[in-house]
A and B are shown apart, each in its own frame.
Chain A
């Protein structure tokens, strides 16, 4: 099986712009989670989607949003970019969450630099 893929891998934006990142989960996985990784804050949970619904959300401002499509692919959007949004954004997918013993499999991440 192919792993989790994320596009683009690298992105440079300027303050005030918006950005959309994409994640394709492992085939058959229905849950997609997003994390932000920075040197100062470490790995922080953004949100999780399952069956096109946001099921859980971390402590991030409303500028961070996401969605999931019927094929489980997910996108996250950051509007009005700030310098502090520069980070590695990681996507993770999991099998059916009703199993209760999910493992999250991570993609390579999208490196976002805000200038």
Chain B
């Protein structure tokens, strides 16, 4: 069965520090992977996606993610965090073998301290 694990429920980083959010997935076929960000009371905004090709993908707001098939991981990174990055981050895997359905991780809440 498809599933996504985000092992870190909450992460706190200092402004300007680097960030890495972990995501592991379980999916039988070639995965389509996504990272979304959600600010309080808002919907989900797409940060980046991986379908195929280059395993390092660039997204908006300076984020990037690397797909590692051998580790079933799709970790999100940012070299220098800004206070405005404080939000909830969700990793998702797209499964289209049974229709258009996304499986989401439980999310990682990011706090940025000045």
Q: Which residues of A contact B (CB under 8 A)?
A: 4, 6, 31, 33, 35, 42-43, 45, 48, 50, 55-56, 58, 90, 92, 94, 97, 100-109, 111
B interface size (C-beta, 8 A): 24
- Write the nearest CB–CB distance from B71 to chain A, whole angstroms: 23
> Judging by beta carbons under 8 Å apart, are A56 and B100 in contact?
yes
Contacts of A92 in B (CB 8 A): 44, 102
Q: Given A90, A104, A105, which contacts B100 in the complex, CB threshold below 8 Å?
A: A104
> Judging by beta carbons under 8 Å apart, are B99 and A106 in contact?
no
Closest to A102 in B: B100
Closest to B105 in A: A42
Q: Given A35, A42, A103, which contacts B49 in the complex, CB threshold below 8 Å?
A: A103
> Judging by beta carbons under 8 Å apart, are A42 and B107 in contact?
yes
Contacts of B90 in A (CB 8 A): 43
Report Cα–Cα, A101/B49, bound state, in Å: 10
From DSSP, what is the main secondary structure of chain A's interface residues?
Answer: strand
From DSSP, what is the main secondary structure of chain B's interface residues?
Answer: strand
Q: List 21 A-B contacts (CB under 8 A).
A: A4-B43, A42-B105, A43-B90, A43-B104, A45-B101, A45-B103, A48-B99, A55-B99, A55-B100, A56-B100, A90-B43, A97-B96, A97-B99, A97-B100, A102-B96, A102-B100, A104-B94, A105-B46, A106-B43, A106-B45, A108-B42
Report Cα–Cα, A56/B94, bound state, in Å: 13
A43-B90, A97-B96, A109-B43 are known; give 12 further A-B pairs, CB within 8 A.
Answer: A35-B102, A35-B104, A56-B100, A92-B102, A100-B96, A101-B32, A102-B94, A103-B34, A103-B46, A104-B94, A105-B46, A107-B43
Q: Which residues of B contact A (CB under 8 A)?
A: 32, 34, 36, 41-46, 49, 51, 90, 94, 96, 98-107
Residue picked from B34, B44, B46, B49, most chain A C-beta under 10 Å: B44
